[in-house]
A = this chain, B = another copy of it.
């Protein structure tokens, strides 16, 4: 099965998860222009476009950080926002405000006929300084519920509880149920 991503780290991570389901994964390194919309809409569109190119089953995913007091900002535009205002911009916006947030990941499978999409979340809190240099993106300012370190400080922990990990796990479970050999 092919995972559509230009991100080598994402590929390696997902390959590990797939392995425990006895699913072999290869990387389909193409950059597909994303539409605007919810994470679900984005991954379905991406999977469809990738399928049309390679004509075989594909997997892909998209993630975002949704901050309650900012009406879900930056949401599906997380990557863009991070590139422009960075973690320091998020910290500026949140001074004196409620800092509850959640990461969301939508993982999608498409085989040319059916879509399977699983959306999972990691709830937590944004802190007002960057801590840790592991992970990427908003990891250094996000502390998951029930933990005391940011994803940027404790990447190992992130890898066991993350929204992305949970979404792919659920997706592979669904696929196993639907495609029993």
Contacts and interface: CB of A to CB of B under 8 A. Distances in A.
A93 B95 CA distance: 11
A80 interface: yes
Interface stretch (A4-12, A84-92, A146-154): A84-92
A70 interface: yes
Interface string A60-88: 00000000001111110100110111000
A28 B84 CA distance: 34
Contact of A84 (B33, B72, B84): B72
Nearest to A84: B73
A145 to B, nearest CB: 23
Interface of A: 33-37, 70-75, 77, 80-81, 83-85, 89, 92-93, 95
